[in-house]
Structure 1
Amino acid sequence: MALILTSILLGVGLGTTFAVPMPCHVQDVAHTFYGFPDNDPPGSGIAYNCGRGLTAGGVGTFNDPLTFASAPGEFEVCETIYDPFLRKYLRMEDFCNSCNRDWANKIWHIDVWTGSNSVNGGNEQLDCEIKLTPTPQHKPIIRRPGPNLPVDGTPLYTKMTNSVCNLGSIFPIYVAQSFC
């Protein structure tokens, strides 16, 4: 009887199938950051082409997610997630060696791109990446996010005459489920 009721509710067996939206999923992950100077090799190259070629980038919106790296199999290649800590959408476009080591121990880990795909921020950018890394490193992210979540469009790092590390654009206190 439960199978029949479930089939009727989903429209299966009636000649019609309805798409049932997948609910978002909260996943606790370690956060680190990388950019031009500590990419391997240094630069903006990424492992997977998810629509913008093999160059890291993005601003963090649903339509232009910021690049993140992880271990193969941890996230789907080109999967978009939402990070309430950064208030940005992120897309899995690269491989991360430390993420791979963590994943071997079943520790979820994302490495988020910090900025320019053409300018090496050197030690200032590396220092910014360390400052952006939360303590503790594990923060919830949203998998299968909706398209209308709040976005902070401020770049995490900007190399100009005076480099800017935008620590004011992180949101360490939040309830992840409120973004579902």
Structure 2
Amino acid sequence: MGRGTYSLSGFCLVLLAAAGCGGAPRASGETVVSDVFITAYSWYDNTPAGSAIISHPVLHKVAGGTGTYEDPVTIAVGHSKETGTSVLDVPAGTRIYLPDVRRYFIVEDACGDGPAPELGPCHTGAEEHGDASLWIDMWIGGEGESMSFAQTCAVQVTGVRTAVFNPGSNYAVAPGNGVIHDGKCDSGYGNGLVSR
């Protein structure tokens, strides 16, 4: 993977531009972004592997959630340590709705390890994936499933997709607990926004 430069100010401009777009009525402060590179991490490839440890707990002590507005699933975002402190690309506690999995998420974790995470995945490289404006990494769980099942699910949900930042509570939520539940990888709903 190349080492591109990520511009948070550029992302903010995309958010501001998207806020003025037409379409269905939106909650105050809600922003729809159609070019977010979304990946997934599981019980098997979390840091440390075989755990659900998260770096910025808000609603959960460990990665989790059902995907409802009230109990969103953990999501990780890029971060930088250039200032000496870990600064998330999207603030902890921000809710995000992903229509392709029909679930709500909440920023509670950082992706990118090591002493210079700003040089690695999530903080940089989004533009290498279909000219995406931002890279986020959803928690899919997977404990109790095989590693290959979790990896296959991660591949299935990966792509440039629509994400709604600071969404209202009115979007459809798929049944089941999280993305991996009841022996299936629950995704493939597309980028359309469906209200309940």
Under a length normalisation based on structure 1, what TM-score does the superposition of the two structures give? 0.71
Q: Unpaired runs of 5+ in structure 1?
A: 1-20
Instruction: Give the alignment partner of residue 52 of structure 2, picking from 15, 23, 44.
Output: 44
Deviates more, 1:95-104 or 1:32-41: 95-104
Following TM superposition, by how much is the alpha carbon of 1:23 offset from its aligned partner in structure 2, in angstroms? Answer: 3.7
Following TM superposition, by how much is the alpha carbon of 1:173 offset from its aligned partner in structure 2, in angstroms? Answer: 4.5
Instruction: Give the alignment partner of residue 87 of structure 1, picking from 83, 102, 115.
Output: 102
**Bigger Rg, structure 1 or 2:** 1
Amino acid at match of 1:82: Y
Following TM superposition, by how much is the alpha carbon of 1:102 offset from its aligned partner in structure 2, in angstroms? Answer: 2.6
Amino acid at match of 2:171: L
Aligned counterparts of 1:123 and 1:139: Cα–Cα separation in 2: 23
Q: Which residue in 2 is equivalent to 1:145?
A: 167
Superposition pairs for residues 1-180 of structure 1, below 5 Å? 22-27=28-33, 28-42=35-49, 43-53=51-61, 55-72=62-79, 73-97=88-112, 98-102=121-125, 107-116=133-142, 119=144, 121-133=146-158, 137-154=159-176, 155-158=178-181, 164-167=183-186, 169-174=187-192, 176=193
2:161/2:191 contact within 8 Å kept: no
SS at match of 1:90: strand
Amino acid at match of 2:173: V
Amino acid at match of 1:101: T
The ranges of structure 1 where at least 4 consecutive aligned residues each deviate by more than 4 angstroms after the TM superposition are 103-106
Following TM superposition, by how much is the alpha carbon of 1:31 offset from its aligned partner in structure 2, in angstroms? Answer: 0.9
SS at match of 1:37: coil
Aligned counterparts of 1:129 and 1:23: Cα–Cα separation in 2: 30
2:127/2:133 contact within 8 Å kept: yes
Under a length normalisation based on structure 2, what TM-score does the superposition of the two structures give? 0.66
**Aligned pairs, how many?**
147
What is the root-mean-square deviation of aligned Cα atoms in Å? Answer: 2.5
Percent same amino acid at aligned positions?
26
Amino acid at match of 2:37: A
